[in-house]
Structure 1
């Protein structure tokens, strides 16, 4: 068994309708991270 195959089997497949939520939260994270002061 290859390492890539093992890693792919460890994650649950994402439902097709979940991609917009992932994109929205990713965009919000980048937006808020851009304006955060560290």
Structure 2
């Protein structure tokens, strides 16, 4: 899916800042909401 590719890309970008765990949780919630 293009969506997961974008999420993975953003996750990699944010991991540089060390806040990837919080960002990952936010993306997970958004991903679930989009899937419903």
TM-score, scaled to structure 2: 0.44
Larger Rg: 1
- Flag the structure with higher helix content: 2
Higher RCO (CA < 8 A, seq sep 6+): 2
